[in-house]
């Protein structure tokens, strides 16, 4: 996807807010918080893949008690340097200098074997949580404006619903079918442009397409009517099916967009 602004960066289930002063000054994280809240209230897409450490701090947890993983550090260069402190292996002079350089840049003491484990923990906290404190604060402010704050802070289950693991979010056929408003008999919205038999056939095909994932060739045949002689009874039915074909193509693109983490972009 092009022409988008990343609000979160990193790996799935370890996403953290981008450390961009421009995004912060633009209040985009406040807007993102509102979007998260309103989407939850109206049964829309949730925000999967956020780091558990970020979620912990977002809902009021203390930085010192947050469980942080190396994968939560989105900058691979910083992650490599911090990883040097993990374990008890000896470091070369060059590696010690790398650690000290980064630590001093973050107003932390340089490397020494005596406080190696402490420095590892502090550098990880800084890379993931201290650098994103303002972004998380803005997210919290936006969520509070949607009046769901008391719910997600009082109910742990609600937190898991609003911020699920990426592996728990599946945009599969059943999810799509559940969110389609199917035509009903004697509906006030019915313009009676198509007879019930035609509508039934169209619904049947759409269900089959979503459930079985028909290929491109079948979709093109469906849109053009080349696979069945006399497939259409009226010109309006042909036009309707062509529109459905185009809509299905857009649906495929949308699902690929969602599965790539679209809620982390604006």
Q: What pLDDT digit, counting tens, does each position of 240-253 carry?
A: 555 555 555 555 55
Is the pLDDT at 226 greater than 70, yes or no? no
> Which residue in this structure is represented by tokens 């990880």?
124
Which pLDDT score is estimated for 223? 46
Residues 52 and 144 in one domain: yes
User: Which residue, of 115, 141, 169, is where some domain finishes?
Assistant: 169
Residues 98 and 230 in one domain: no
| Mean pLDDT of all residues belonging to the chain | 80
Number of residues in the chain: 266
Instruction: Identify whether 148 is part of a domain.
Output: yes
Residues 121 and 142 in one domain: no
Which pLDDT score is estimated for 230? 44
Residues 35 and 151 in one domain: yes
- What total number of domains does the chain contain? 3
Instruction: Identify whether 266 is part of a domain.
Output: no
Mean pLDDT, to the nearest integer, of 224-246? Answer: 49
Residues 217 and 95 in one domain: no
Instruction: Identify whether 187 is part of a domain.
Output: yes
pLDDT > 70: percent of the chain: 72
Residues 138 and 159 in one domain: yes
Is 51 in contact with 15 (CB distance < 8 Å)?
yes
Residues 183 and 56 in one domain: no
Residues 63 and 92 in one domain: no
Distance from C-alpha of 33 to C-alpha of 143, rounded to nearest angstrom? 4
- Structure-model confidence comparison of residues 213 and 220, the more confident one: 213
* Closest residue by Cα to residue 29 from 133, 139, 134: 139
> Could you give the C-alpha distances from 222 to 98, 129, 209, 214, 241, in angstroms and in order?
61, 52, 10, 10, 7
Is the pLDDT at 1 greater than 90, yes or no? no
Q: Is 103 helix (H, G, I), strand (E, B) or coil?
A: helix
Q: Domain span at residue 158?
A: 8-67+131-169
Residues 46 and 94 in one domain: no
Mean pLDDT, to the nearest integer, of 157-185? Answer: 76
Mean pLDDT, to the nearest integer, of 226-237? Answer: 47
Distance from C-alpha of 68 to C-alpha of 56, rounded to nearest angstrom? 10
- The two three-digit tokens of residue 166, written as one number: 């990426």
Distance from C-alpha of 258 to C-alpha of 173, rounded to nearest angstrom? 14
For the ranges 27-41, 172-186, 188-202, the one whose mean pLDDT is highest: 27-41
What's the predicted TM-score (pTM) here?
0.67
């Amino acid at each position: 996807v092009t022409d988008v602004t990343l609000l979160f960066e990193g790996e799935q289930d370890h996403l953290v807010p981008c450390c961009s002063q421009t995004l912060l000054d633009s209040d985009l994280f406040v807007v993102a918080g509102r979007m998260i809240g309103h989407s939850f209230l109206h049964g829309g897409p949730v925000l999967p893949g956020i780091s558990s450490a970020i979620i912990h701090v977002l809902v009021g947890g203390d930085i010192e008690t947050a469980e942080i993983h190396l994968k939560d550090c989105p900058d691979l260069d910083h992650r490599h340097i911090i990883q040097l402190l993990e374990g008890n292996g000896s470091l070369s002079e060059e590696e010690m200098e790398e650690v000290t350089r980064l630590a001093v840049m973050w107003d932390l003491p340089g490397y020494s074997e005596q406080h190696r484990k402490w420095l590892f923990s502090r550098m990880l906290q800084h890379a993931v949580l201290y650098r994103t404190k303002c972004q998380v604060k803005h997210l919290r402010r936006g969520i509070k404006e949607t009046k769901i704050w008391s719910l997600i802070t009082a109910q742990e289950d609600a937190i898991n619903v609003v911020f699920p693991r990426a592996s728990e979010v599946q945009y599969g056929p059943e999810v799509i079918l559940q969110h389609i408003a199917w035509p009903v008999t004697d509906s006030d919205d019915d313009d009676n442009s198509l007879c019930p038999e035609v509508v039934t056939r169209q619904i049947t095909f759409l269900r089959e397409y979503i459930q079985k994932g028909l290929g491109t060739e079948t979709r093109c045949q469906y849109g053009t009517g080349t696979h069945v002689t006399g497939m259409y009874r009226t010109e309006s039915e042909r036009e309707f099916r062509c529109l459905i074909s185009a809509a299905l193509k857009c649906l495929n693109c949308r699902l690929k967009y969602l599965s790539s983490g679209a809620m982390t972009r604006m």
